[in-house]
Copies of this chain bind each other. A is one copy, B any other.
Amino acid sequence: MPEFRKDMILDEWVIIASERAKRPEMFREEKVKIETPSGMVCPFDKGNEEMTPPEILRMDLNGDIIDKSDPNWQIRVVPNKFPALKPVAAPGTKLYGMYSIMDGFGLHEVIINSSEHILYLSQLSQPQIKLIIDVYARRLREIKKDSRIESVIIMLNQGKDAGASLEHTHSQIFALPFNSPVLEKELRGTLRYYRLHKNCAVCDILDFEAKENKRIIFENNHFVIIQPFASRNPFETWILPKRHYSNFENISKEETQSFSECLKLLVDFFYNELSNPSFNYYIHTGPLHTKTDHHYHWHFELIPKLSIKAGFEIATGIDICITTPEDTAKFIKEKLKI
């Protein structure tokens, strides 16, 4: 059973994931290898459905839910085979000597983005990407019904350097019994901004950036692609909804279309015009059962793995970015001829 353990100095939870635990000897020979199924059978390919745990959802390219025996699927959602969190226990802190521990309660789902053995999101069409976003929102609305779940992270790791353990493109959903430290910081930071300025920080960013026009890359009806002013990583990119709302699951059909257009443009840029780097992306969305509508504004962040976080960043929590977002925005716009 995975376990939350409290760091008593930082007063923060850590997950000790015994389900995916490696024995210490495995680190002797060489650095930990990411297992990719080259030459191996891929459990995410069409035809290998029985290799995954029993599925949660199966959909065709039209976005219709289809029967578990129907081979014409485009997307499947399954529980992670080696979950970092498990839905079997109720949350609740216990003492272990001086320490606090908690069962590793939560959900850890995998969204198989495509039935074909595709490695890069950019190899999918915009309608296929739109379907993935649809599934994100659909799963979120479903998970929200469980009152034990407080917050959800939707994310994708692409490439070895980004920590992907299987090369077949897939997304992941983690559902937690509390707000993560990053979400808590975002809620505190945006509430502080709201109290000072009587406005949403992200709405003000959208206004200011539109005026300055130095870091915006693209916009359509409902979304803006931007290099953030306080960028933490080279080519870190945000997609911001123009409409102010806290929770991603309330995305409309039109907005989903608009968002998929932005995401397709972005992953195509990295694939075609940069070095097809590994990347992580994730959706920061408000807590499921606490109203944060007035100050929180959901957003999407993509971080390509183009630099290494070293001792300074780990020890201080302060990121050093070796490019300026103004330069990278200019570069991306030139390449995309926008």
Binding site for B on A (CB under 8 A): 5-18, 20-25, 27-32, 34, 84, 97-99, 153, 155-157, 161-164, 172, 174, 176, 180-183, 185-186, 188-190, 192-193, 201-202, 204-205, 208, 211-212, 228-232, 234-235, 273-275, 277, 280-282, 284, 299, 301, 303, 305-312, 314-325, 327-328, 330-332
Contact in complex: A15, B320 (CB < 8 Å) = yes
Cβ contact within 8 Å between B314 and A303: yes
In Å, the complex CA distance between A181 and B12 comes to: 13
* A205 engages B316 (CB within 8 Å): no
7 of the cross-chain contacts (CB-CB < 8 Å) are A9-B193, A12-B317, A24-B235, A98-B205, A155-B315, A282-B315, A284-B315
Contact partners of A27 in chain B: CB under 8 A: 234-235, 274-275, 277, 306, 323
Report chain B residues within 8 Å CB of A25: 331
Would you call A8 and B205 a contact (CB within 8 A)? yes
B322 and A17: CB pair below 8 A? yes
Nearest chain B residue, comparing its CB with the CB of A84: B320
CA distance in complex: A17, B316 (Å): 16
- Beyond A10-B185, A28-B274, A155-B312, list 6 extra A-B contacts (CB 8 Å): A8-B189, A9-B193, A12-B317, A24-B328, A181-B317, A280-B311
CB distance from A241 to the nearest CB of B (A): 14
Interfacial chain B residues near A190, Cβ < 8 Å: 9
Contact of A31 among B8, B17, B161, B318 (CB under 8 A): B161
Given contacts A5-B229, A8-B193, contact A234 B277 (CB under 8 A): no
| Leading 6 A-B pairs by shortest Cβ distance | A163-B310, A180-B316, A11-B189, A24-B331, A155-B311, A181-B317
| Contact in complex: A324, B8 (CB < 8 Å) | no
Chain B residues lying within 8 Å of A10, measured Cβ to Cβ, are 182, 185-186, 189
With A and B bound together, what is the CA distance between A97 and B234 in angstroms? 23
In the complex, chain B residues whose CB is within 8 Å of the CB of A211? 97
